[in-house]
Amino acid sequence: MVDRANIKQIIPALPDEKIDMLAATSVLQQQAADIRNQRINWQSYLQSQMISKEDYDFIAAFDTSDTKARENKLKENPHQAAKTFLNLLGHVSKDQTIQYILTMIDDMLQEDRNRVEIFREHSTRKRESVWGPFLNLLNRQDGFIMNMTSRIIAKLACWSHDLMEKTDLQFYLTWLKDQLKLSNNEYIQSVARCLQMMLRIDEYRFAFVSVDGISTLLSVLSGRVNFQVQYQLIFCLWVLTFNPLLAEKMNKFNVIPILADILSDSVKEKVTRIILAVFRNLIEKVEDGQVAKEHCIAMVQCKVLKQLSILCQRKFDDEDITDDIEFLNDKLQASVQDLSSFDEYSTEVKSGRLEWSPVHKSGKFWRENASRLNEKNYELLRILVHLLETSKDPLVLSVASFDIGEYVRHYPRGKHIIEQLGGKQRVMQLLGHEDPNVRYEALLAVQKLMVHNWEYLGKQLEKEQTNASGAPTNKPGAQVPAKA
């Protein structure tokens, strides 16, 4: 685990004020500005006995625009502050008032992050969970209430001396992940902002990965989102790559092809900058040299070198971009010089983006490397079979079918292995595919899979014809050649 004390040195500082300026245009911030201008009649809550005299005295005095007066009230009795806020959240049901209370709490924490300990100390004294009252509010119907609560939870989790406990953490991160997946979620910037905070803490990163967080980030990035959300979600990937173990695993989720596509379309400097920073970490932070090499090859195959040459022509204000372009250019150029045909093939298959690159049609490649597809428990063969099963792209299906045919043609036990992995069945299903190229390649692959059986059958027929000139052979009980 990375020491929490060193996190700020490990991740180059992006001041919270700067992130909050970016978030200032979000729907949540716009609504919060309107809510601050409202006035709540606390007296009516006291008269109807919905709140106690003690809670009324605190909230009436604290609900003022005078920052100094609020600060003095908190110093005078911090325990009462936590007690009152939690009592109000527990006893008031009106959405408008809950919105106002949450905005007050968020502003209070934003003014001084040490105030998160007010809630921590109160819950310790009461022997209650600090998270319970807030996590319950994530189940409300009102979008503002859910997302302002989420913002408060992120601050409590990131600014407190104590980490968020495992089950509460899993619940919260799953909620954030599900919010990202909601179609047309108007609060998506606020959700991403919470993740940007949470994923700076190493322990929270692993918890996020365990709830399938990386796949979710990439799934959203593969769709149509605006450049601000793109930036925020790629920022989340970037902070994850500061952990060497996560940096090594990252491209198993196809992060390089997806970010390479965004890079080629990107017109915003900050999106370009954060993608280059992710790519740099995927080479620099990885401790296994072989994995770093695979990442370089994946970037080359995704045409990143071409993008770097285009970016070299542009003038950037940010020195980091220029530095990252030079670093990546040097590393990728070196990997091209050192690239074996099998490295190239392996990386292409792992990316899932098969195309008719020269290695596929090279007889020399298959003669020398067919047996290498058995390595790591048939890893590459399993990927090819999986692509036949899941891909909708006719090009990918055509190339995968061809490769399976070449493997069985050049590796003696290949037919048996492909059958065991379910490849034969997948290829045969493609004989009825709507695309003529897929049908053609599937037919060729099936022929290669069956060819030995055909040779056997041919010999049997020949033998029968020879015997036929002498004694007839198809009498009852005569042996029938085994079917292919």
Please, which pLDDT band fits residue 20 given cuts at 50, 70 and 90? very low
CA-based nearest residue to 357, from 370, 343, 344, 339 = 344
For each of the domains in the chain, give its residue range(s) and CATH number, in order of start: 11-211 (1.25.10), 212-339 (1.25.10.10), 358-454 (1.25.40.150)
By CB atoms closer than 10 A (0-12, 13-18, 19+), residue 98 is: buried
Q: State the pTM of this model.
A: 0.74
Query: Phi, psi (5° rounding) for residue 432?
Result: -105, 15
pLDDT over 50 (residue 62): yes
pLDDT in tens, 347-358: 889 888 898 988
SS (H, E, C) 54-113: HHHHHHHHHCCCCHHHHHHHHHHCHHHHHHHHHHHHHHCCCHHHHHHHHHHHHHHHHHCH
Contact assessment for residue 384 and residue 423, using Cβ atoms and an 8 Å cutoff: yes
Cα gap 42→223, rounded to integer Å = 46
- Residue 330 confidence (pLDDT): 92
- Residue 482 confidence (pLDDT): 40
Cα gap 304→302, rounded to integer Å = 6
In this predicted structure, which of 219-228, 280-289, 311-320 has the lowest mean pLDDT? Answer: 311-320
Task: Determine what percent of the chain is predicted with pLDDT higher than 90.
Answer: 57
Please, which pLDDT band fits residue 75 given cuts at 50, 70 and 90? confident
In this predicted structure, which of 10-24, 110-124, 193-207, 283-297 has the lowest mean pLDDT? Answer: 10-24
Give the dihedral of Cα atoms 335, 341, 345, 347; nearest 10 deg. -20
pLDDT over 60 (residue 473): no
Other Cβ atoms less than 10 A from the Cβ of 244: the count is 16
Please, which pLDDT band fits residue 25 given cuts at 50, 70 and 90? low
Contact assessment for residue 304 and residue 263, using Cβ atoms and an 8 Å cutoff: yes
C-alpha dist (Å) from residue 455 to 90, 217, 315, 371: 80, 52, 65, 23
- Residue 459 confidence (pLDDT): 57
pLDDT over 60 (residue 455): no
Three-state DSSP class for 48?
coil
pLDDT over 60 (residue 202): yes
State the average pLDDT over residues 106-127: 90
pLDDT in tens, 233-261: 999 999 999 999 999 999 889 999 999 99
State the average pLDDT over residues 458-471: 60
pLDDT over 70 (residue 417): yes
In this predicted structure, which of 35-44, 303-312, 463-472 has the lowest mean pLDDT? Answer: 463-472
Q: Which amino acid is at 74?
A: L
In this predicted structure, which of 4-13, 52-61, 73-82, 313-322 has the lowest mean pLDDT? Answer: 4-13
Six token digits for residue 422: 């379910």
State the average pLDDT over residues 432-450: 93
Contact assessment for residue 107 and residue 68, using Cβ atoms and an 8 Å cutoff: no
- Residue 167 confidence (pLDDT): 93
State the average pLDDT over residues 137-159: 94
- Residue 304 confidence (pLDDT): 92
Mean predicted lDDT score pLDDT of the chain: 86
In this predicted structure, which of 5-19, 207-221, 327-341, 441-455 has the lowest mean pLDDT? Answer: 5-19
Task: Determine what percent of the chain is predicted with pLDDT higher than 70.
Answer: 88
SS (H, E, C) 408-463: HHHCCCHHHHHHHCCHHHHHHHHHHCCCHHHHHHHHHHHHHHHHHHHHHHHHHHHH
Six token digits for residue 213: 């967080």
Please, which pLDDT band fits residue 184 given cuts at 50, 70 and 90? confident
pLDDT over 70 (residue 470): no
- Residue 183 confidence (pLDDT): 85
**What is the Rg, in whole angstroms, of the alpha carbon atoms belonging to the chain?**
31
pLDDT over 80 (residue 4): no
pLDDT over 70 (residue 58): yes
pLDDT in tens, 337-348: 777 788 889 888
pLDDT over 90 (residue 8): no
Six token digits for residue 111: 């003014």
C-alpha dist (Å) from residue 318 to 258, 272, 315, 388: 24, 11, 9, 44
- Residue 398 confidence (pLDDT): 96
Six token digits for residue 277: 């920073």
Please, which pLDDT band fits residue 316 given cuts at 50, 70 and 90? confident
Other Cβ atoms less than 10 A from the Cβ of 53: the count is 9
Which of the pair, 171 or 471, is modelled with greater confidence?
171
**Which positions ≥6 away from 371 have C-beta within 8 Å?**
411
Which of the pair, 458 or 274, is modelled with greater confidence?
274
